[in-house]
Amino acid sequence: MTKQQQWYKKILLNMAASVLFYTAIPLPNLHDLDFRSVARFAPSVGLLIGGILGLLDAGMNYLGMPVLTRSALVVGVWVAITGGLHLDGAMDTADGLAVGADRRLEVMADSATGAFGAMAAIAILLLKTTALTDMPENRWLVLMAACGWGRWGQQLAIARYPYLKPMGKGAFHKQAIRSYKDVLPGLLLLIGLSSLLLLIDKKRLFLALSMIVAGSAIATLTGAWFNHKLGGHTGDTYGAVVEWTEALFLCVLTTF
């Protein structure tokens, strides 16, 4: 096996590890998987998830299913594909932010879901469903962009802010994302995705730019807000960044 073939094999195995870590998508048994670098492929996994959701939505649209029902089913499958990983983090984060600063990490580590966590989950799911309902076209592209920007926001939070639990499950992400250079590939990938709008319709330049500006701004601000409230990040807040970036991105795009 040549060095180039070994490199391609390594990339494919790392991508497979990222899919297994971040989703409930079944893959065949693979050997030599290294989960330490899964965060580097998070935006790519987001595009995969969004693409699956887009295909599902297109199929239901072909069958004549009403837009609200389609949107609710897409959001339900959205949660199922991720195994609720990020939504669980958003719920734990909401519970933690509801108590005093000295008890936040303790409450977030508790597996029991409190009232604020339940309310956060309801708000996120409602926002995603209603925002999708207000988008009659290019839904596949919007879904891919939302999933991608959410995970790029996670990468940015990993790179910018300290990790609060050195022995936590998300601590190894800091070893994969060490600087801003590590988030640049994901950013370029998402800019390229938004540019697909121009291939579909050259008159959609404003919308393409809006997707880039809104996605990058929301992904940046959500991570900054959780850092402001907690003084850093944990695995739960990484999930919260993903979920809130996705939901707010969809809401902002309805205005365009």
Q: What is the DSSP string of the chain?
A: --HHHHHHHHHHHHHHHHHHHH--------SS--GGGGGGGHHHHHHHHHHHHHHHHHHHHHTT--HHHHHHHHHHHHHHHHTTHHHHHHHHHHHHHTS-GGGHHHHHH--S--HHHHHHHHHHHHHHHHHHHT--S-HHHHHHHHHHHHHHHHHHHHHHS-BS-TTSTTTTHHHH--SGGGTHHHHHHHHHHHHHHHHH-GGGHHHHHHHHHHHHHHHHHHHHHHHHHHSSB-HHHHHHHHHHHHHHHHHHHTT-
- How long is the chain? 256
- Model pLDDT for residues 29-65, shown as the tens digit of each residue: 777 788 888 999 999 999 999 999 999 999 999 999 9
Over range 165-183, report the average pLDDT: 82
Alpha-carbon gap, residue 142 to 253, rounded angstroms: 8
Confidence of residue 1 (pLDDT cuts 50, 70, 90): low
Over range 18-26, report the average pLDDT: 92
Find the range with the poorest average confidence among 79-83, 178-182, 242-246. Answer: 178-182
Tell me which amino acid residue 203 is: K
Contact (CB, 8 A) for 227 and 160: yes
Residue 31: what pLDDT? 75
Confidence of residue 216 (pLDDT cuts 50, 70, 90): very high
Count Cα neighbours of 25 within 13 Å in the Cβ-side half-sphere: 18
- The rounded percent of the chain whose pLDDT value lies above 70 is 98
- Tokens representing 201 are 């319709």
Radius of gyration of the chain (CA): 18
